[in-house]
């Protein structure tokens, strides 16, 4: 089978390798679609993410869908949950599987991900896709789950106000989600013009640059001294500061962005004087039934966010396109259907 493996910074090679065996409790899945995430770009450009670094050649890719070739769901199209929590630690028993200290995650550390023809994955982490949900949409259920987890942490209420700081794919999905929840006012902050246009197209009342936001451009949209919830999905200190400045006193600020280095900072005086509740968002937790229902029911439209599609043989070009951020979402279609 073909496998795209990262050997070092920017060193991504497609080679032939034997098809993996499926151990007990696992299925063989022929991968059809893999989204390239911002975390994949960290691995590609920096050789790691946060405190994790490349120690062995690694297959990237965790936003994925495929067709089960061998296992209980043989013949079914499925979305693949990339996280394998231990289910034995106290954190897992408390219901926070996304925070499991022993979690294995596709395309992270030493756990190979989905940029390959075939992968073996635990049966219980495969979610059948309805007929109306395409393979590409199935791969998008993972970033949708990340956005949904951040929105959940924010306790977004019907009739409330929300700011989304950072309008990459997850930010654009978050805009759709807060509208689906019933937010009355949605403001967006994003430096790239095409992503600001997309933010308005997906439901933001106004999308401005960070410079405009610092200059007070959101004041006409946000009443009452700030938004009820600010969700930061950019991974920069300036984005965190903007989220906090945009938030109302007593508001919730959700930090979902991943910084380039393993450190973030924020204006403590603003956070303290406003009495902000700051929440750190990590991945997602049991979201596939909900995200599938949202897409199947038309409450969230994931397909238009995918602007660039490549084949596995073009994976290096796919990463180059995703790094350039000229589009929205880049997907590698491995086995076209």
Q: Give the model confidence (pLDDT) of 106-159 as tens digits.
A: 999 999 999 999 999 999 999 999 999 999 999 999 999 999 999 999 999 999
Mean pLDDT to the nearest integer, 272-287: 95
Query: End-to-end distance of the chain based on CA atoms, in angstroms?
Result: 18
| H helices, E strands: number in the chain | 10, 19
User: Mean pLDDT over all residues of the chain?
Assistant: 95
The architecture that CATH gives domain 2-128+302-333 is: Alpha-Beta Complex (3.90)
Q: Which two tokens stand for residue 115?
A: 């940029």
Residue 224 has pLDDT above 80, yes or no: no
Mean pLDDT to the nearest integer, 178-192: 97
Contact 173, 147 (CB under 8 A): yes
pLDDT at 81: 98
Structural domain spans, the chain? 2-128+302-333, 145-280
118 Ramachandran zone, left/alpha/beta (phi>0; psi -120 to 50): beta
Q: In which band, very low, low, confident or very high, does the pLDDT at 337 lie, cut at 50, 70 and 90?
A: very low
Q: Does 145-280 match 2-128+302-333 at the fold level?
A: no
Contact 35, 143 (CB under 8 A): yes
Mean pLDDT to the nearest integer, 198-218: 94
Strand ranges for the chain from DSSP E: 2-8, 11-16, 26-35, 48-49, 52-53, 63-70, 77-80, 83-84, 104-105, 118-122, 126-128, 161-165, 185-189, 206-208, 227-232, 247-255, 277-280, 306-311, 329-333
Q: Which two tokens stand for residue 35?
A: 């989204």
Q: Parallel, antiparallel, or unpaired: how do β-strands 26-35 and 2-8 relate?
A: unpaired
pLDDT at 216: 86
> Can you tell me the distance from the alpha carbon of 38 to that of 50, in angstroms, rounded to the nearest whole number?
12
**Exposure b/e, 90-102, CB count within 10 A at least 16 = b:** ebbeeeebbbbee
Contact 71, 27 (CB under 8 A): yes
CA nearest to 235, candidates 210, 212, 264, 213: 264
Mean pLDDT to the nearest integer, 194-200: 98
**Residue 215, C-beta contacts closer than 8 angstroms, at least 6 positions apart:** none
pLDDT digits (tens, 9 = 90+) for 16-70: 999 988 999 999 999 999 999 999 999 999 888 888 888 999 999 999 999 999 9
250 Ramachandran zone, left/alpha/beta (phi>0; psi -120 to 50): left
> Can you tell me the distance from the alpha carbon of 313 to that of 9, in angstroms, rounded to the nearest whole number?
19
- Of the candidate CATH numbers 3.40.50.720, 1.10.3720.10, 3.40.50.300, 3.90.550.10, the domain formed by 145-280 belongs to 3.40.50.720
Q: In which band, very low, low, confident or very high, does the pLDDT at 263 lie, cut at 50, 70 and 90?
A: confident
Looking at the chain, the whole-number percentage of residues with pLDDT higher than 70 is 99
């Amino acid at each position: 089978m073909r496998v795209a493996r990262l050997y070092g910074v920017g060193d991504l090679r497609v080679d032939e390798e034997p098809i993996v065996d499926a151990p007990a409790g696992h299925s063989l899945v022929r991968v059809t679609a893999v989204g390239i995430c911002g975390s994949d770009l960290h691995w590609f450009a920096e050789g790691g993410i946060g405190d994790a670094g490349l120690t062995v050649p690694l297959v990237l890719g965790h936003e994925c869908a495929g067709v089960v070739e061998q296992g209980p769901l043989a013949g079914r199209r499925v979305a693949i949950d990339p996280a394998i929590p231990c289910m034995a630690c106290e954190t897992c028993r408390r219901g926070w599987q996304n925070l499991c200290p022993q979690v294995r995650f596709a395309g992270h550390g030493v756990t190979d991900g989905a940029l390959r023809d075939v992968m073996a994955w635990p049966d219980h982490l495969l979610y059948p896709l309805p007929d109306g949900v395409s393979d590409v949409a199935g791969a998008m259920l993972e970033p949708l789950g990340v956005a949904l987890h951040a929105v959940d942490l924010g306790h977004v209420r019907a009739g409330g106000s929300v700011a989304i700081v950072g309008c990459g794919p997850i930010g654009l999905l978050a805009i759709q989600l807060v509208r689906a929840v019933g937010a009355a006012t949605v403001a967006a902050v994003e430096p790239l013009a095409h992503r600001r246009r997309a933010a308005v197209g997906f439901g933001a009342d106004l999308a401005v640059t960070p410079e405009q936001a610092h200059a007070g451009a959101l004041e006409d949209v946000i009443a009452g001294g700030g938004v009820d919830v600010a969700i930061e999905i950019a991974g920069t200190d300036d984005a965190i500061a903007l989220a906090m400045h945009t938030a109302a006193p007593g508001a919730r600020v959700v930090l979902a962005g991943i910084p380039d280095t393993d450190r973030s900072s924020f204006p403590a005086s603003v956070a303290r004087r406003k009495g902000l509740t700051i929440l750190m968002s990590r991945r997602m937790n049991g979201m596939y039934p909900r995200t599938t229902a949202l897409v199947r029911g038309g409450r969230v439209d994931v397909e238009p966010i995918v602007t660039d599609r490549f084949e596995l043989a073009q994976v290096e070009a796919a990463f180059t396109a995703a790094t350039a951020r000229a589009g929205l979402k880049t997907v590698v279609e491995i086995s076209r259907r």
